[in-house]
Amino acid sequence: MSGMDEEKLHAFVGKMLGDLGGAFSVPTVRIGFRLGLFDALAKDAATAPQLAERCGGLSERYVREWAYAQAASGYLEFDPEAGRFSLSPEAAMIFVEQDSPVYLRGAFDMVAAMIEGEAKVEAAFRNGGGVAWGDSAACLFCSVGAFFRPTYANAIVQQWLPQLEGVVDRLKAGARVADIGCGVGFSTLLMAEAFPNSEFVGYDFHPASIADARAHAAAHPGCNNVRFETAAAKDIAEGGFDLVTMFDCLHDMGDPRGCARHMLEILKPDGTWMLVEPMAGNRPEENMNPVGRLYYNASTMICVPTSLAQEVGEGLGAQAGEAKLASLIGEAGFGHIRRATEGPFNIVLEARH
Ligand SMILES: C[S@@+](CC[C@H](N)C(=O)[O-])C[C@H]1O[C@@H](n2cnc3c(N)ncnc32)[C@H](O)[C@@H]1O
């Protein structure tokens, strides 16, 4: 082909090989999580027959092929002399340690959920409509909850809340907190456990998420300062909150401006709104990087369709960026807005009256 640069083509094909290798690994990695294959290797290295036996008598032939696939991906180490597979401590953080900040089971499950929702989102490309949060894929909501949990478990209490002015002292003393768009409730529960003198309400408009959140709460029997309610953000009737939190959900809402105005009403006059949103620059070209790539894809398949399925249908997108978010919050009537902190995947904004 005229004008084609042979070297560039080779580099491009090499990149695609890596990308497709990751995509091809999604089903085998998910099987590895579900059947306990990674967990079993965390204890000790094993040959394929030993691994099959350790996982309760799986078919050795499948386990062997699976293990070669993971080794070819670089996820397992392979000792050809001994025919043994092992998991490095670093790989264990990704595949085994559920409280590690980089435990990725939820991320792999999210890929499957996005593929499940493909036909509905494709139809929405044609008709311009939305795909409601609960309609896209059976486990979209649970995989999204699992995707975010490792970050939240390591950041909300330890890193983010302490960056807000005076908030931790209020939480220690006893505050009223609303966690809005709480999904399956991990963020709410993490805060409720850390601040037993405060009272937490998790709200989400998706009833199945609230049912899961209640089940998660029941698994923490000592944690009786938290409850979960089904409500759209703009319809929350209770008020007098010292703190409102929103984790990775304002951009999913159909009417984020209306929601922001409602936040002013339900917060106490000296209350704080902590808004956690995906990391993004203010211009699209600033997001042409691996994090932006994940978020733009998820935004196309999940966030924009969720927003367009609701009234107003603003379709802010996961990569809106701080400037757009701050202007939206300012227009709603908040006088004080600042970036309190950030992580590799999130920006954390603080808004007050
Ligand atoms: C990407 S998920 C984040 C869930 C949770 N905060 C987390 O980080 O795991 C977005 C959440 O926003 C909720 N949501 C979207 N629009 C909403 C609205 N208008 N009112 C209340 N919840 C809404 C969805 O049901 C979903 O649980």
Query: CATH number for the domain including 90?
Result: 1.10.10.10
Residue 211 sits in the same domain as residue 144: yes
Residue 348 sits in the same domain as residue 269: yes
Question: Cα of 69 to ligand 1 centre, how many Å?
Answer: 35
| Minimal-distance CA residue to ligand 1 atom 17 | 253
Residues with pLDDT less than 50, the chain? none
**pLDDT score of 67:** 98
- Examine the fold and report which residue of 66, 95, 124 is the final residue of a domain before the chain moves on: 95
Q: Give φ, ψ of 120 to 5 degrees.
A: -70, -40
3-state secondary structure of 342: strand
Q: Give the count of domains, the chain.
A: 2
Residue-level length of the chain: 353
Report d(CA 220, CA 186) in Å as an integer.
11
Residue 211 sits in the same domain as residue 287: yes
Residue 62 sits in the same domain as residue 161: no
Residue 76 sits in the same domain as residue 49: yes
Residue 72 sits in the same domain as residue 122: no
Residue 196 sits in the same domain as residue 84: no
3-state secondary structure of 66: helix
H or E element in which residue 167 lies: helix 167-173
Q: Is any ligand 1 atom within 6 A of the Cβ of residue 247?
A: yes
Write out pLDDT tens, residues 256-299. 999 999 999 999 999 999 999 999 999 999 999 999 999 999 99
Whether 277 is covered by a domain: the verdict is: yes
And the tokens for 81?
Answer: 């002399």
H or E element in which residue 94 lies: helix 89-95
Q: Is any ligand 1 atom within 6 A of the Cβ of residue 318?
A: no
| Minimal-distance CA residue to ligand 1 atom 20 | 232
Query: CATH number for the domain including 309?
Result: 3.40.50.150
Question: Cα of 182 to ligand 1 centre, how many Å?
Answer: 6
Question: Cα of 252 to ligand 1 centre, how many Å?
Answer: 7
And the tokens for 276?
Answer: 């956690």
DSSP output for 138-151: TTHHHHHHHHHHHH
Residue 57 sits in the same domain as residue 150: no
Write out pLDDT tens, residues 53-95. 999 999 999 999 999 999 999 999 999 999 999 999 999 999 9
Quick one: which atom of ligand 1 is closest to the CA of 149?
9
Whether 100 is covered by a domain: the verdict is: no
- Examine the fold and report which residue of 43, 60, 95 is the final residue of a domain before the chain moves on: 95
H or E element in which residue 211 lies: helix 207-218
Residue 75 sits in the same domain as residue 196: no
Question: Cα of 82 to ligand 1 centre, how many Å?
Answer: 49
Q: Which domain holds residue 295?
A: 105-352
| Minimal-distance CA residue to ligand 1 atom 16 | 253
Report d(CA 128, CA 147) in Å as an integer.
28
Whether 138 is covered by a domain: the verdict is: yes
Measuring CA to CA, how many Å separate 111 from each of 77, 107, 118, 301?
A: 25, 7, 11, 10
H or E element in which residue 192 lies: helix 186-194
Q: Is any ligand 1 atom within 6 A of the Cβ of residue 295?
A: no
Write out pLDDT tens, residues 118-132. 999 999 999 999 999
Contact (CB, 8 A) for 143 and 112: yes
Quick one: which atom of ligand 1 is closest to the CA of 182?
6
- Examine the fold and report which residue of 69, 95, 121 is the final residue of a domain before the chain moves on: 95
Report d(CA 288, CA 9) in Å as an integer.
20
Q: Is any ligand 1 atom within 6 A of the Cβ of residue 144?
A: yes
And the tokens for 107?
Answer: 């991320």
